[in-house]
A and B are shown apart, each in its own frame.
Chain A
Amino acid sequence: MSIAIVDARGWQNTLDLETGDKINTAGPVVEMAKDVLGRHPYPGDRDPGSNRWVSDTAFDLIDRYSPRFVFLTYAAQYFSGRYTPMTKETRAKMILEAFLEAERFINTSGFAAIVVGTGNMTPFLGSIDATGIDGLAVCTHWSTRYAGLYGPSPDDMKALRAHPHIEKIVPQEKVVSLFNGTPEQTLRVPEYLMLAREGYAFKTISDATRTPIMIPSLNFNVPLYAPGRTVGAITGIRQALEEDLLEKKVALIVMEGVGLDEFLWPHVSCRNGMEWYYYEPGEAQYLTIASGEHRFLDYPTGYKCFNDKVEATRSYPFSGHFKSIPEGPFARTFPGKSIAVGNKSMFMHTVTGTDVSVECFARNLYNQGTMAVIHREDKR
């Protein structure tokens, strides 16, 4: 059983991650996680102390759990860059500070690091309004490049194909074929996947929207800092990690919202997808990095979660749209101890596969606290 401990600032509850039921459980790892959450309240997605929270929380876990593998995400610059207007100089300073924070982690912890940026950001130029069509366009506002399309009329297709800010409309079979999808995965893929041109984002029926200042660029390649390693694609990071872990303690650090143009450490350019597809920052990109295989089809953009008959009573209520904990991330089978800490939403426990994870519990920039998930407490 995986255990979730939620910390709502000054108050904690312990739950079965799968059922969401309150449980009474104890043990050294549970007590450690509770104490770590209590000592490290999350300052907020765009708070200047957000990335420091990641390092400090990780230090605490390292001191008390002694992991061999650490998975970290620094995301404050991604959220601030996306929604806060700023000058180029301020942005450069913000990114420098994120790298200084990573450096502080490496120097203090003594872990060797592999660092991957999730991609460049580009100024938001405008929306592609896909709300007035006869069919239905589906994506969340976090997705900008892609939107799913269902039941389009001939008029819809004509208008969308002629839209100056839509680059391409890919039919389902081509999406499935690109990723060698199974029949089960095909059910989750929209009839068409629409691709926006750089700087534009689809506007579909979604959450209350904040106007972004910057959105992810066309990141077919992302930067990778991996001293002594030759890695050509993000699917190759796993092997590099596994080999390094045979010799030393290793941290995989994901630097959100930083691409080839702004990555401050020596790096190589690494493929971030296949053919016409690249990963936007999000769960699929993390799963691909952690598992070494392409994972777009687990929950593809445009997936109609609201059609699920069982959604109201489904498992893993605290795991976003995940209905199970994904197989594949190498930490799930790694024999050494592992931890993850991140300030990019509540998905570290689903995508990293580590024994223990601590993540912010923040949705749409609302800071509700933190959550620790314990998948394994049997390692000594």
Chain B
Amino acid sequence: MYTVSGGVTRERFPHRFSSCGSYLVESMPFYHAYPGSRCLAIGTTSCNFRCRYCSNAYIAKEDPEIQQDRMYHLAPREVVGMARKLNCRSIIFHVNEPTVSLPTLLEVAQEAKAAAIPMGCLTNGYTTVESTELLASIFSFFNVSLKGISARFNRTYIGIKSSRPVLRNISRLAKDRHVEVTTPIVQGANDGEIDTIADFIAGVDPEIPWHVFRLLPEDEMKGAEYPNIQAIDEALHSARKRLPYIYFHNFVGSEWVNTLCPDCGCAVIERFSLGCGGDRLKRLPCEDNRCPDCGRKIKLLSEKPCLGHRERAQR
């Protein structure tokens, strides 16, 4: 978060991280970026949303001042050094919203570029045009949480007026960055928007992977009914015809986590679903990014340097 003093905006707690650990990239989730690899997952504190169902309220909603005792104090060089020590292929910002810590992340990105380690993030995408460009200069792959489209849902559950900036930024980022989208389904609140969201994603790029989450009710919604899995699966039938990479998960044992070839239906990437933050790769038959059966190209950010990354490293 930031403070303004004498007309200057400054980050309140630079180089302080609420989390810093080694995870499998599928658990973030990223399903089409560096499959099976480890990432160094970092996060800070605070958020520009106030979701009623926040899974990380103890980080995102609590006053950052009182969290400082437990924070990791790591200089950007140490973050990148840690990624190397832990054999991490990438660095991914998660847990809270990256825009609340842009100066620190710009510094980390500089070190990461020098080490040729790509950076990705989970973001709510609720950023200005200028901030979005900053994010695009830091991160080469994104998972944008499109929580809902209607103004009513966004006002009631997220605390914002409109999803328009999020939609605008997904379109922008998808132009030259790897983008996946996540939507937690709150039954009775945004499950009626599934087709509208699918239409939006298909309009940007039908090959964008879409993670449809069964909401795990936490924070203000703790104690609420868990959404009905079968009903959500049925609601996704029509969207699956338009978007080849729809995943329905965030619950243990999901059987909708494999990537199927859009042309022939062959399972080209298989995964295990261990619920929130626990997914992992099972098999990767399409190691050359092509379906082993029909040869169709599968959208996948893999071991090659990410888009724009090599140029930045050279610079």
Residues of chain A touching chain B, judged by Cβ–Cβ distance below 8 Å, are: 6, 8-13, 15, 20, 22, 127, 129, 131-132, 136, 203, 205-211, 306-307, 311-313, 317-318, 361, 363-364, 366-369, 371
Q: Which of B70, B230, B282 contacts A127 (CB 8 A)?
A: B70
A contact residues around B13 at 8 Å (CB): none
Contacts A10-B228, A203-B70, A306-B22 known; 5 new A-B pairs at CB < 8 A: A205-B72, A207-B19, A209-B70, A211-B69, A307-B87
| Interface flag for B300 (CB, 8 Å) | no
Inter-subunit contact A368/B87 (CB<8 Å): no
Inter-subunit contact A306/B38 (CB<8 Å): yes
Given A10-B226, A203-B72, A312-B281, A361 and B275 touching (CB < 8 A)?
A: yes
- Max count, chain A CB within 10 A of own CB: residue among B216, B253, B254, B272: B253
Mark interface residues in B269-307 (1 if CB within 8 Å of A CB, else 0): 000101111101111000000000000000000000000
Inter-subunit contact B20/A205 (CB<8 Å): yes
Mark interface residues in B65-97 (1 if CB within 8 Å of A CB, else 0): 000011011100010001001110000000100
CB B222 to nearest CB in A, in angstroms, measures: 8
Please tell me which stretch of B55-63, B144-152, B169-177 contacts chain A, meaning at least 4 of its Cβ atoms lie within 8 angstroms of it. B55-63
Q: Can you give 17 contacting A-B residue pairs, CB < 8 Å? A: A8-B253, A10-B229, A127-B70, A132-B78, A136-B85, A205-B21, A208-B19, A208-B56, A306-B38, A307-B87, A312-B24, A317-B282, A361-B275, A363-B275, A363-B277, A368-B216, A369-B251
Q: Which of A127, A209, A313 contacts B18 (CB 8 A)?
A: A209
Inter-subunit contact A13/B24 (CB<8 Å): no
- Max count, chain B CB within 10 A of own CB: residue among A10, A127, A307: A10
Nearest CB to that of A6 among chain B residues?
Answer: B253
How many residues on the B side are at the interface (Cβ–Cβ under 8 A)? 47
CB A364 to nearest CB in B, in angstroms, measures: 8
Inter-subunit contact B21/A206 (CB<8 Å): yes
Q: Which of A11, A22, A312 contacts B251 (CB 8 A)?
A: A11
- Max count, chain B CB within 10 A of own CB: residue among A127, A205, A371: A205
Bound together, the chains give a CA A10 to CA B229 distance in angstroms of 8
| Interface flag for B36 (CB, 8 Å) | yes
Inter-subunit contact B216/A313 (CB<8 Å): no
Bound together, the chains give a CA A105 to CA B87 distance in angstroms of 48
CB B86 to nearest CB in A, in angstroms, measures: 6
Inter-subunit contact A209/B230 (CB<8 Å): no
Nearest CB to that of B229 among chain A residues?
Answer: A11
Which B137-196 residues have a C-beta within 8 angstroms of A?
none
Inter-subunit contact A208/B278 (CB<8 Å): no
Bound together, the chains give a CA A20 to CA B252 distance in angstroms of 11
Nearest CB to that of A207 among chain B residues?
Answer: B21
Q: Which of B20, B38, B56, B275 contacts A131 (CB 8 A)?
A: B20
A contact residues around B78 at 8 Å (CB): 131-132
Which B202-223 residues have a C-beta within 8 angstroms of A?
214, 216, 218
Bound together, the chains give a CA A125 to CA B161 distance in angstroms of 44
Inter-subunit contact B70/A361 (CB<8 Å): no
Bound together, the chains give a CA A85 to CA B305 distance in angstroms of 47
Inter-subunit contact A9/B226 (CB<8 Å): yes
Q: Which of B18, B59, B69, B252 contacts A8 (CB 8 A)?
A: B252
Bound together, the chains give a CA A369 to CA B216 distance in angstroms of 10
Bound together, the chains give a CA A132 to CA B86 distance in angstroms of 14
Given A11-B230, A208-B56, A361-B252, A368 and B21 touching (CB < 8 A)?
A: no
Nearest CB to that of A12 among chain B residues?
Answer: B253
Inter-subunit contact B36/A312 (CB<8 Å): yes
- Max count, chain A CB within 10 A of own CB: residue among B24, B73, B216: B216
A contact residues around B281 at 8 Å (CB): 312-313
A contact residues around B85 at 8 Å (CB): 136
Q: Which of B19, B214, B229, B275 contacts A209 (CB 8 A)?
A: B19
| Interface flag for B120 (CB, 8 Å) | no
Q: Which of B86, B95, B275 contacts A368 (CB 8 A)?
A: B275
Bound together, the chains give a CA A285 to CA B40 distance in angstroms of 30
B contact residues around A12 at 8 Å (CB): 253
- Max count, chain B CB within 10 A of own CB: residue among A12, A210, A318: A318
Bound together, the chains give a CA A6 to CA B214 distance in angstroms of 16
Nearest CB to that of A4 among chain B residues?
Answer: B253
Inter-subunit contact B226/A8 (CB<8 Å): yes
CB A43 to nearest CB in B, in angstroms, measures: 10
B contact residues around A307 at 8 Å (CB): 87
B contact residues around A205 at 8 Å (CB): 20-22, 40, 72, 82, 86
Inter-subunit contact A208/B282 (CB<8 Å): no
Q: Which of B87, B272, B277 contacts A20 (CB 8 A)?
A: B272
Inter-subunit contact B251/A8 (CB<8 Å): yes
Inter-subunit contact A371/B226 (CB<8 Å): no
A contact residues around B255 at 8 Å (CB): 13, 22
CB B93 to nearest CB in A, in angstroms, measures: 12
Bound together, the chains give a CA A171 to CA B280 distance in angstroms of 33
Given A131-B20, A136-B85, A205-B22, A368 and B252 touching (CB < 8 A)?
A: yes
B contact residues around A8 at 8 Å (CB): 214, 226, 229, 251-254, 275
Inter-subunit contact A15/B87 (CB<8 Å): no
Inter-subunit contact B21/A6 (CB<8 Å): no
Closest 5 pairs (CB-CB, A-B)? A208-B19, A6-B253, A13-B253, A312-B36, A11-B229
Inter-subunit contact B87/A306 (CB<8 Å): yes
| Interface flag for B43 (CB, 8 Å) | yes
B contact residues around A363 at 8 Å (CB): 274-278
Nearest CB to that of B232 among chain A residues?
Answer: A11
Inter-subunit contact A208/B21 (CB<8 Å): yes
A contact residues around B22 at 8 Å (CB): 205, 306
Bound together, the chains give a CA A6 to CA B274 distance in angstroms of 10
Inter-subunit contact A366/B276 (CB<8 Å): yes
CB A290 to nearest CB in B, in angstroms, measures: 24
Inter-subunit contact A313/B252 (CB<8 Å): no
CB B147 to nearest CB in A, in angstroms, measures: 19
Q: Which of B24, B82, B252 contacts A369 (CB 8 A)?
A: B252
B contact residues around A306 at 8 Å (CB): 22, 38, 86-87
A contact residues around B282 at 8 Å (CB): 20, 313, 317
Bound together, the chains give a CA A307 to CA B69 distance in angstroms of 30
Given A205-B20, A208-B59, A209-B18, A312 and B253 touching (CB < 8 A)?
A: no
